[in-house]
Amino acid sequence: MMIAVTGATGHIGANLVRALIDKGISPRCLVHVNCRAIDGLDVERVQGDVRDVDSLCQAFEGVDVVYHLAASISLSMADWQRLDEINVRGTANVVEACLRTGVRRLVHFSSIHALVQEPLNTPVDESRPLVDSRRYPPYDRSKAAAEIVVRRGMEKGLDTVIIYPTAVFGPYDYQPSFFGEALIAIAERRLPALVTGGFDWVDARDVTTGAMAAAEKSPAGASYLLSGHWVSMCEIAAIIEEICGVSTGKPVCPLWLAHIGAPFIGVASRLRGKRPLYTSVSLRALKSNRDISHERATSELGYRPRPFRETLVDTLNWFRENGQLRLPDKVKIGK
């Protein structure tokens, strides 16, 4: 069986490619610029761009299953044009290429951010509607719009499964991701302050396991929330302090105050050539729904996310081994 992966060099993609290889499958990886995440792996590389449907058709020729992960992620309220181009129109091109080349199944990675979180006192499951208002951040709207495109492809006969991961972290985070960058900053005591609030965090390896099970077992049109564990930022800092044996003590800022300071943090970060981690978008996410249900995935796919602490230890160790986390030699990252 031939499998193609868009976004193979991203965080989830890097874990998915390795999981496929472990199962004896050498996937075809659509690469655009940076190949670092798959260097040295037994994969087929094809040059392509989700903005170019012809390159996608060439990449998908003879392919049975496409995992569509390629997307642009943003914590800004001003990135709609880029997000629309890559996340929405790019997904439309993926759907079109799948239909043209006769791909048997598309596994589309949406996001928890595509789903309406309110009411916050009721668990979020796959029945939640898609966000559809400009009051939502551009990234959220782009993932919702991309899903609408995918569902139109389903109406044309494309067998599709939709995956909704929550906030992903774990090993093979080469860029690193926004949350990976925050973990490094906390461990190195470079984060100026902690904020109240938290999110549902899930191991990238668990997401890939769930997605692969969905690709093999689920009926056409099925969708699955792949969540993990809600943990606050303050709890994360406390766990890092415990497992690293170093003090990460920082002042704790309430979310309402952090919202006021976010524009100034953004300016300061950009002056230093850094991505701001605290933005109005990221702070809004930290007060979203705490109860994200993976009951359907557990029941139908046998999905069981591993403990948060285990993923955190593995992630910090990977960052350290990869040269992205700098701690004194005497510091041991324990279980």
C-alpha 283/C-alpha 75 separation (Å) is 9
Q: Residues 37, 5: contact at Cβ < 8 Å?
A: no
Q: Which 3 state secondary structure label does DSSP give 131?
A: coil
C-alpha 255/C-alpha 333 separation (Å) is 30
How are beta strands 229-232 and 198-203 bridged, if at all? antiparallel
pLDDT the model gives residue 289: 95
* 211-254 pLDDT, tens digit each: 999 999 999 999 999 999 999 999 999 999 999 887 766 677 66
How does DSSP classify residue 35?
-
Q: Which 3 state secondary structure label does DSSP give 174?
A: coil
pLDDT the model gives residue 260: 61
How are beta strands 229-232 and 167-169 bridged, if at all? unpaired
Domains parsed from the chain with CATH numbers: 3-174+201-229+289-305 (3.40.50.720)
pLDDT the model gives residue 227: 98
Percentage of the chain surpassing pLDDT 70?
Answer: 91
Structure tokens at 42: 């037994």
C-alpha 36/C-alpha 173 separation (Å) is 11
Cβ partners under 8 Å of residue 57, min gap 6: 97, 100, 101
pLDDT the model gives residue 159: 98
Residues of the chain with confidence (pLDDT) below 50: 264, 267-268
How does DSSP classify residue 178?
H
Q: Residues 63, 103: contact at Cβ < 8 Å?
A: yes
